[in-house]
């Protein structure tokens, strides 16, 4: 996947220590519709963490924030203790993998 690289604001090289995923005080809204308000939790590496809720509760939004498709309005998302805004996309995707539930089928052959 080719993504336009967003330079990290820090001039030093940041390297995550581990694979824990943490949201700390995360708030996010789609334009004027708040979805997440002050969400904090830690998903420890090597464990199973379930994020459950009804449709529209913000489950997919959390995955999009962890994948850095979007940045939170407030708060911080960390992987291995490192703020993901300070990581390059390459560093980030060395530490996470996301498989979304939406399936896209194409009418074509692979060749």
Q: What is the 3-state secondary structure (H, E, C) of 46-111?
A: CCCCCCCCCCCCCHHHHHHHHCCCCCCCEEEEEECCEEHHHCCHHHHHHHCCCCCCCCCCCCCCCC
Q: Which of 24, 29, 30, 18 is nearest to 77 (CA)?
A: 24
Residue 60 in domain: yes
What is the per-residue pLDDT across 39-94, written as a single tens digit (0 to 9) for each? 999 999 889 999 999 988 999 999 999 999 999 999 999 999 999 999 988 888 88
Within a domain: 31: yes
pLDDT digits (tens, 9 = 90+) for 11-27: 345 676 888 999 999 99
- Does 15 reside within a domain? no
Judge whether 16 lies within some domain.
no
How many domains in the chain? 1
Domain span at residue 58 reads 21-95
Instruction: Enter the pTM of the model.
Output: 0.76
Residue 73, in any domain of the structure: yes
CATH number, domain of 45, equals 3.40.50.300
């Amino acid at each position: 996947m080719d993504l336009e690289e967003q330079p990290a604001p820090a001039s030093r090289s940041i390297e995550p220590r581990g694979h824990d995923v943490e949201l700390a005080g995360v708030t996010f809204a789609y334009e004027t519709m708040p979805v997440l308000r002050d969400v904090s939790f830690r998903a420890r590496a090597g464990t199973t963490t379930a994020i459950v809720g009804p449709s529209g509760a913000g489950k997919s939004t959390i995955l999009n924030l962890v994948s850095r498709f979007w940045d939170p309005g407030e708060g911080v998302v960390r992987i291995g203790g490192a703020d993901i805004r300070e990581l390059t996309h390459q560093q980030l995707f060395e530490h996470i993998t996301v498989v979304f539930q939406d399936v896209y089928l194409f009418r074509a052959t692979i060749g």
